[in-house]
Chains A and B, each alone.
Chain A
Amino acid sequence: MSLVPVYRRRPSPLHVASAGATTALCVSLALVCALYDHPVVVVAVIVAVIGAGLAAGVGSEIARAARLSVPLALLVTLINPLVYAEGNTLLVRGGSVLGHRFDITLEALAAGGLAGLRVAAFVMPFALFAACVDPDDLLRSLRRVSYRSALTAALATRLVPVLARDATRMGDAARCRPHPPGRLAVARAALSGALERAVDVAAALEVRGYSAGRRSARAHRSLSRHDVRVLTAAAIVVSAAVAGKLGGVAPVASYPVLEITLGPAEFALSALLLVAAAVPFAGRSARLGVAHA
């Protein structure tokens, strides 16, 4: 079972909407994480993604990605106070190594926690993206912009599980040797195997006419009701996030004293994010069709 979510077609508005629309929603949620480090807003993004994921039937995929992000968040939380010694509230007075004092302050620890939370939140929209957006549809929609880059991205998506399987196989083979080789040797061999795979895939692309460089005319596709709802949600998220930022909503200061503003504006912004994430799933028109025999 892969920690990185893999796309599977499911009957949900996020899967049925065009790849571009769902990508826009995921990118808009990631944008909020890029603009804000306020814990209430960041937690709102996490909740919004989990809610959207559950409604789209990819809750387990999102949960696996969340598990993947926890060690990363903890790492950031623990490293920050070791790197930054600013802050007025001293918790631990450390020694001096090569002229650098290792004092741990409450503010640095809290700032590390906020940064870790933000890292974890940043992973979540991408997990939703990986679980809900068909890479092939995305390639098709990006074809006019940058065909080769889009194809490379699609290939990378396709090859990640293949290379992961290769690495697992090599690990098993190493365990079968009476004197198992070092991890570095296995990693090097796995990398070299990945390069061989890449050459094989390049050959396969060549015989499919890749370097002919022609492109099909794009089939016109009008926006579906699901596209409209998902794009509306993305627009609400982006508008609220940008407007809030310009209006100075949800400021956070870590040093010298931790200051987190908790007012109606912050809660309103967070509520708006949650409502926006629910828009694709709300109402009768969000329902999918029913097959009749």
Chain B
Amino acid sequence: MPEPVVSAAAFNYRYPEAHAPALRDLDLELEEGSFTVLAGSSGSGKSTLLRALCGLVPHFHGGDVSGDLTVGGLSVREHGPAELAAVCGTVFQDPETQVVMGGVRSELALALEHRGEPAAAVARAVEEVALAMGVAHLLDRRTETLSGGELQRVAIAAALAGRPALLLLDEPTSQLDPVAGDELIWLLRRLNEEWGTAVVIAEHRLERCLPAADRVVAIERGAVVCDSPPADFLAWAAAEGGALATPVARMFSLAGLGPVPATVKQARESLRATGLAEVGAPAVEASPEASARRLAWRRERRPAPALQAREVWLEIEDGPRVLAGVELRFERGEKVALMGRNGAGKSTLLRLFKGLQEPTRGRLDCSGEVALLLQNPGDYLVHDHASEEAGEAALAAAGLAGRGQAHPRDLSGGERQRLALEVVLSGGPCAAVLLDEPTRGMDRPHKDALSQRIGELAAAGAAVVVATHDTEFAATFADRVVLMGPGTVIADGPPAEVLAGGWHFSTDVARTLGGAGGALTPEQGARLLARELVG
């Protein structure tokens, strides 16, 4: 039986000036070399638990602590973050603020130098961790020149340089595209298997992490509500209403199939065993004729579009070509998901439509006001009180009625985002509403609420265009998906057509069913399976 690397007994923590405890009666043991996923809704206490494990709670944040919590045999009540750094590495959500030094090599060396390791040992450790994390080619780069994905890898490498027994990660994939996010999770799994490093990862996109996990700890209101292997956790989550269940688990649960699978592979095997491997209609393929007919119909019949880009180019001096002849037309009332990998030009296109940037060539037409919500909703909130940001009606629409005196920075992430959206919409009816990555770090209930708001805006006559990496969310709200390659549109059509047959840009349900019947969401998949079962 391996020794626990983390051991908590009746551990409680309350932030300074908070009324309710952030962690309650925590009893937990994590074994050496385990891969644990922390699940829970926004504000449930996942990040606080990670901060307790690395010693920031209570030594950095202050507050009241009771009970015991030991990490690598060190009590977090008696040992601060600097001592705990020898046994645990920590990576927070935003890589921009945890990379401290100007150069990658110096960044990887920093923790070891703080420990007083000899220079030769530091150099060797840096070389080894760089090779293990696939960042050796970045060693002589400046940190400000790295992409988000590269910066995240460097931050993880820096946390691992001292070979800690435990690695803590707080939503490490929230700023990455599906490709980079999947790569990161599998890299962590490889490190976990080859180095024996125990990994604790807090994530909202459980479908991404569960295939790599040995165990899931679900937290609600600061208390552990489920602690079990992924399959048992999913059965529990399905029974609890499905807010934490993965899309495939929800599909199985809705279709009345069991046992609930933890991975797409298990789901396929389970369907094969039930004789449902070849379900329903074949994948929806985009025929050139159908696409041409749809485009011609759009051009001829519809009134003036809400937004239109004609041969739009954007080239940067001494930089890459960001947009290359983009042709797009968004109609009023359309709900569009704009997808593509990091750097494909999604955010740039939204900025051009709003007029924050000028194209180098081409033409952009808007038939009215354009509202744009950029990636960081906090950037919109500049006053001391929420009531100064928006009127009473807007506060009510954001679900903040009666909280006008709250400081915007005291609001939760979801509340800030709703408020920022109402702020940009407060100018009156818009021809188009553009949202840039609105679901980063958002749990499912908040995504559902956002999806509903998008529906209301579209029903009011606005074209709603959402740049997102979140395929599951896109499948929920969109009636059209535009997939961008580097600077160009590479697919444009209904979600069932664009997402069902994809690999990375596809939902788990579509992957499980092989794109059958164009089913993307758990509800669509469950209906398809139920039909097959009846048939």
Instruction: List residues of A whose CB falls within 8 A of some B CB.
Output: 6-9, 134-136, 139-140, 154-155, 157-158, 161-162, 169-170, 172-179, 181, 185-186, 188-189, 192-193, 196-197, 200-219
Q: Is there an interface contact between B103 and A136, defined as CB atoms closer than 8 Å?
A: yes
Q: Are A203 and B106 in contact (CB under 8 A)?
A: no
Q: Known contacts A200-B94, A208-B85, A209-B82; is A8 also within 8 Å of B378 by CB?
A: no
- Contact between chains at B158 and A189 (CB < 8 Å): no
Chain A interface helix/strand/loop/mixed: helix
For A176, the chain B residues whose CB sits under 8 A away are 354, 356, 371-374, 380, 424
Choose the segment among B111-119, B494-502, B515-523 that binds chain A (4+ C-beta atoms closer than 8 Å).
B111-119
- Kindly identify, within residues 378 to 405 of chain B, every residue whose CB is under 8 Å from any CB belonging to chain A: 378-383
Which of A189, A204, A211 contacts B80 (CB under 8 A)?
Answer: A211
Residues B356 and A201 in contact, CB atoms below 8 Å apart = no
Tell me if B356 and A172 are in contact (CB < 8 A): yes
Give min CB distance, B48 to chain A, whole Å: 13
Q: Do B142 and A188 have beta carbons less than 8 Å apart?
A: no
Indicate if B270 sits at the interface (CB-CB under 8 A).
Answer: no
Stretch at the interface among B20-28, B33-41, B54-62, B302-310: B54-62
What chain B residues lie within 8 Å of A202 (beta carbons)? Answer: 60
Closest B residue to A2 by beta carbon equals B144
Would B382 and A211 count as touching, CB distance under 8 A? no
Also in contact, A8 and B110, with CB within 8 A (given A204-B92, A204-B97, A204-B98): no
A-B residue pairs in contact (CB < 8 Å), sample of 15: A7-B102, A136-B101, A155-B100, A157-B102, A175-B356, A178-B371, A178-B424, A179-B426, A193-B379, A212-B85, A212-B116, A213-B82, A214-B116, A216-B119, A216-B122
Distance between Cα atoms of A175 and B373 in the complex (Å) = 11
Distance of A215 Cα from B113 Cα, bound (Å) = 6
CA distance A274 to B83 in the complex (A): 52
Residue B3 lies at the interface, judged by CB distance under 8 Å to chain A? no
Which chain B residues border A181 with CB–CB below 8 Å? 382-383
Shortest B295–chain A CB gap in Å is: 31
Q: Is the CB of B92 within 8 A of A203?
A: yes
Cross-chain contact A8 with B142 (CB below 8 angstroms) = yes
CB interface residues, B 62-83, toward A, < 8 Å: 80-83
A217 to B119: give the CA distance in the assembly, Å. Answer: 7
How many Cβ-Cβ contacts under 8 Å join chain A to chain B? Answer: 162
Give Cα A201–Cα B99 distance, bound, in whole angstroms. 8
Given contacts A173-B374, A173-B380, A185-B382, 14 further A-B contacts (CB under 8 A): A6-B144, A8-B142, A136-B103, A154-B102, A157-B102, A176-B356, A176-B372, A178-B369, A179-B426, A207-B89, A207-B90, A208-B114, A216-B112, A219-B119
A211: nearest residue on chain B (CB-CB)? B82
- Is B423 interfacial (CB 8 A cutoff)? yes
A208 to B110, CA, bound (A): 7
Task: Determine if A217 and B82 form an interchain contact, defined as CB atoms under 8 angstroms apart.
Answer: no
Q: Which of B56, B97, B428 contacts A206 (CB 8 A)?
A: B56
Q: Judging by beta carbons under 8 Å apart, are A179 and B119 in contact?
A: no
- The answer to whether A209 and B92 touch (CB under 8 A), given A172-B374, A189-B381, A203-B56, is no
Which of the residues B55, B378, B380 comes within 8 Å of A177, measured between beta carbons? B380
The reply to whether B106 and A139 form a contact with Cβ atoms under 8 Å apart is: yes
Q: Which residues of B contact A206 (CB under 8 A)?
A: 55-56, 59-60, 80-82
A158-B428 in contact given A189-B381, A210-B114 (Cβ < 8 Å): no
Residue of B with least CB distance to A134: B103
Q: Nearest chain A CB to B151's CB is how many angstroms away?
A: 11
Chain B residues in 8 Å Cβ range of A157: 102
Given contacts A172-B356, A172-B374, A203-B60, contact A216 B113 (CB under 8 A): yes
B241 on the A face (CB < 8 A): no
The residue on B at minimum CB distance from A143 is B113
